[in-house]
Amino acid sequence: MSKRAYNFNAGPAALPLEVLERAQAQFVDFQGTGMSIMEMSHRGKVYEGVHNEAASRLLNLLGNPEGYKVLFLQGGASTQFAMLPMNLLTEGKTAGYVKTGSWANKAVKEAKLIGETFVAASSEEDKYMSIPDVSNLVLPENAAYLHITSNETIEGTQFGQYPDTGSVPLIADMSSDILCRPFDLTQFGMVYAGAQKNLGPSGVTVVIAREELLTNSPKHLPTIFRYDTHLDNNSLYNTPPSFSIYMVNEVLKWIEEQGSLEGIEKKNREKANLLYDAIDNSGGFFRGCADVASRSLMNVTFRLASEDLEKQFIKESEQEGFVGLKGHRSVGGLRASIYNAVPYESIKALVEFMEQFQKKNG
Ligand code: PMP
């Protein structure tokens, strides 16, 4: 077998090797049909079986709470930034946003194009290096929803405690941390995530929502942008990204095999602790960017003393087989994305590389 890279890409990102190998084994002839899953009708029994299995597996992992539905949509989480207010931010309402960083800001920018918004909390003053206190939010009565970004992929921060929004639906962009740990879905009206970090390949966006939030799309909305269209048609109104959905189903099976979300969380904590400890024990050679209490389990952002040294780190890391350690172009620095499928061994190798690098340059 060819050597796998130490893959720290932010997304699309590492997938479990077992999943890739299973997909490979099924690639040419899926379940004896004589064709790959990509070559068959999305209206046929075989594909529909996979499609429905992926949706029910996802709900199962989240404890199957009453009244929640799964949609498989296209256009990435970025499309949800617009589709959410188009469907729910109706006349006379306002939508609350917690401004935690780059992705939260993109979400609110789209909502402003549709209707009234307000900032419920922000960590802008802290340069988005922390998650703001959301324990005592006061929301207006006409709030359509409160939107949070559960994990800021670029800054490397993550919510610990989610806000209690009472009767106002809490909605989360969970693109970069969905299924990294157990969470109580019933706290949320809706969560959505592009698949390409923790769920599978790019091409499909998962929406999990309380059914009543999906049934009241304004009359004037074009068919394809309406949540009710996709709900009424089991996400088969038009051709779905069938291969991506098949891969999501395989990744969900793999999560079950890891001990479900409890097992995944345990592994993620071990992985994150290993890397944050290496940063914190470097005597200031490596410096973590995010506030310690707001640190992400998924995206570890850190810096070196100078940009030149960071460039050297990236160059040498690439020569050693490490991929994706360059920070996002908007913030610079370094970032290791350690999603569910990144093995402990990759992080161990990274920590060893960091120690060697410090020995030579410290
Ligand atoms: N939200 C978050 C938190 C993200 O990390 C990303 C992608 N990196 C997006 C939204 C945008 O996702 P997409 O490219 O699927 O539109």
- For residue 37, report the distance from its CA to the centre of ligand 1, in Å: 26
Which tokens go with 227? 């949540």
The helix (H) or strand (E) run that includes residue 55 is helix 45-61
For residue 70, the cross-strand partners are: 208
Tell me if residue 197 is catalytic: yes
Domain 260-361 has CATH 3.90.1150.10: yes
Taking only the tens place, the pLDDT of each residue in 133-144 is 999 999 999 999
Q: Catalytic one among 99, 197, 271, 326?
A: 197
User: pLDDT exceeding 70 applies to what percent of the chain?
Assistant: 99
Q: Which residues contact residue 315 at a Cβ distance below 8 angstroms, ignoring those fewer than 6 apart?
A: none
Q: Give the position, in ligand 1's atom list, of the atom nearest the Cα of 151.
A: 3
Above 0.90 for ipTM, yes or no? yes
Phi then psi for residue 169, to 5 deg, are -60, 130
* Nearest CA residue ID for atom 10, ligand 1: 77
Residues annotated within the binding site for pyridoxal 5'-phosphate are 77-78, 103, 153, 173, 196, 238-239
- For residue 2, report the distance from its CA to the centre of ligand 1, in Å: 30
| Res. 1: pLDDT tops 80 | no
- Cα–Cα distance measured from residue 208 to residue 264, given in angstroms and rounded to the nearest whole number: 20
Taking only the tens place, the pLDDT of each residue in 159-179 is 999 999 999 999 999 999 999
Query: Which pLDDT belongs to residue 263?
Result: 98
Q: Which residues contact residue 331 at a Cβ distance below 8 angstroms, ignoring those fewer than 6 apart?
A: 102, 154, 155, 289, 301
Collapsed DSSP state (helix, strand, coil) of residue 224: helix
Measured over the CA atoms of residue 345, residue 295, residue 98 and residue 137, the dihedral's sign is positive
- Which band of pLDDT confidence, cut at 50, 70 and 90, is reported for residue 3? confident
**Which of the following CATH numbers is that of domain 17-257: 3.40.190.10, 3.40.640.10, 3.40.50.970, 3.40.710.10?**
3.40.640.10
Tell me if residue 177 is catalytic: no
Q: Which residues of 333-361 are buried (b: 16+ CB within 10 A; e: fewer)?
A: bbbbbbbbbbbeebbeebbebbeebbeee
- Comma-separated ranges of CATH 3.40.640.10 domains in the chain: 17-257
- Which band of pLDDT confidence, cut at 50, 70 and 90, is reported for residue 2? low
Taking only the tens place, the pLDDT of each residue in 10-51 is 999 999 999 999 999 999 999 999 999 999 999 999 999 999
- For residue 203, report the distance from its CA to the centre of ligand 1, in Å: 12
**Prediction pTM value:** 0.98
| Res. 340: pLDDT tops 80 | yes
- Cα–Cα distance measured from residue 97 to residue 91, given in angstroms and rounded to the nearest whole number: 18
Phi then psi for residue 299, to 5 deg, are -125, 110
| Res. 184: pLDDT tops 70 | yes
| Res. 323: pLDDT tops 60 | yes
- Comma-separated ranges of CATH 3.90.1150.10 domains in the chain: 260-361
Residue 90, classified by CB atoms within 10 Å of its CB into exposed (0-12), middle (13-18) or buried (19+), is: middle
Taking only the tens place, the pLDDT of each residue in 89-132 is 999 999 999 999 999 999 999 999 999 999 999 999 999 999 99
